[in-house]
Amino acid sequence: MRRVRSLMAMVLLGALLLILVLSNWQIDSAEARLANQELLSRGSSPPDPQKPVWKPTTPTPAPTPAPPKLVLNTTVSENFREFFPHNTAYWSRLLHAFLRQHDRFHTVTPPAEWNECKEASREVLKTNVHDFDTYPDLHKDFLRMCHCRNPPLLIEPKKCTSGGNGSFLLLAIKSVPSNFQRRQAVRETWGTEGVYQGGLRVRTIFLLGSSSNMDPNLAQLLEFEAQRYQDVLQWDFHESLFNLTLKFDAFFKWTWSNCRDVSFIFSGDDDVFVNTPTILDYLRALAPEPASRLYVGQVISPASPIRDPKSKYYIPQSYYEGAYPPYAGGGGFLFSGALLGRMAQLSSLIPLFPIDDVYVGMCIHALGVAPEKHSGFQTFDVAENNRENMCVHKKLMVIHQRTPREVKRLWKGIHSPLLTC
pLDDT of 47 over the 90 cut:
no
Please tell me the distance from the alpha carbon of residue 253 to that of residue 251, in angstroms, as a whole number.
Answer: 5
- 3-class SS of residue 352: coil
CB-based contacts of 307, cutoff 8 Å, min separation 6: 314, 315, 316, 317
**Which range is most confident: 33-42, 194-203, 364-373?**
364-373
DSSP state of 303: B
In the predicted model, is pLDDT for residue 73 greater than 80? no
Same-domain status, 77 and 217: no
96 & 229 share domain: no
Question: Does residue 302 sit within a domain?
Answer: yes
DSSP 89: S
Whether 101 and 239 share a structural domain: no
Within 10 A of 303 (CB to CB), how many other CB atoms are there? 16
Q: Are residues 134 and 173 in the same domain?
A: no
As a whole-number percent, the residues of the chain with pLDDT over 70 amount to 82
Residues 98 and 190 in one domain: no
Among residues 397, 364, 337, the alpha carbon closest in space to that of 203 is found at: 337
pLDDT at 231 over 70: yes
Which of 161-175, 238-252, 352-366 is least confident? 161-175
Domain boundary pick from 96, 119, 145: 145
Residue 217 lies in a domain: yes
User: Which residue, of 145, 166, 186, is where some domain finishes?
Assistant: 145
**Is 3 contained in some domain?**
no
24 falls within a domain: no
- Indicate whether 315 pLDDT > 50: yes
| Residue 131 structural domain | 70-145
Asked if 120 and 169 sit in the same domain, the reply is no
Give the per-residue pLDDT at 46.
46
Identity at 53, one-letter amino acid code: V
Q: What pLDDT score was predicted for residue 68?
A: 60
**Are 242 and 141 spatial neighbours (Cβ–Cβ below 8 Å)?**
yes
Same domain, 120 and 256: no
Q: Are residues 128 and 267 in the same domain?
A: no
Distance CA 333, CA 327 (A): 10
Pair (113, 250) in one structural domain: no
Give pLDDT, residue 215. 81
Mean predicted confidence (pLDDT) in 116-137? 95
Tens of pLDDT, residue by residue over 328-358, are 999 999 999 999 999 999 988 899 999 999 9
H-helix segments, 53-136: 78-83, 90-105, 122-128
pLDDT, position 214: 77
- The residue that leads in pLDDT, 195 or 30, is 195
Question: Where is the domain boundary, 94, 116, 145?
Answer: 145
Give per-residue pLDDT as tens, 256-281.
Answer: 999 989 999 999 999 999 999 999 99
Structural domains in the chain (count): 2
88 within domain boundaries: yes
For the chain, give the mean pLDDT: 86
* Mean pLDDT within 382-391: 92
Phi first, then psi: give them for residue 219, nearest 5 degrees. -60, -45
One domain, residues 253 and 375: yes
| 49, part of any domain | no
| Section 389-417 average pLDDT | 95
Closest CA to 267 of 282, 286, 257, 252: 252
CA-CA distance, 349 to 246, in Å (whole number)?
13
DSSP 398: E
pLDDT at 312 over 70: yes
| Residue 384: half-sphere exposure toward Cβ, Cα within 13 Å | 0
Predicted pLDDT at 105: 84
Quickly state the pLDDT bin for 23 (edges 50, 70, 90): very low
Q: DSSP E strands: which ranges in 78-193?
A: 107-108, 153-155, 167-174
In whole angstroms, what is the distance from residue 21 CA to residue 19 CA? 6
Secondary structure, 3-state, 211-253: CCCCCCCCHHHHHHHHHHHCCEEEEEEECCCCCHHHHHHHHHH
Residues 303 and 385 in one domain: yes
Q: Are 229 and 138 part of one and the same domain? A: no
Q: Which CATH number covers residue 213?
A: 3.90.550.50
CA angle 165-275-383, nearest 5°? Answer: 155
Residues 6+ apart with CB under 8 A from 356: 244, 245, 247, 248, 330
10 within some domain: no
In this structure, is residue 218 part of a structural domain? yes
Looking at the chain, the whole-number percentage of residues with pLDDT higher than 90 is 71
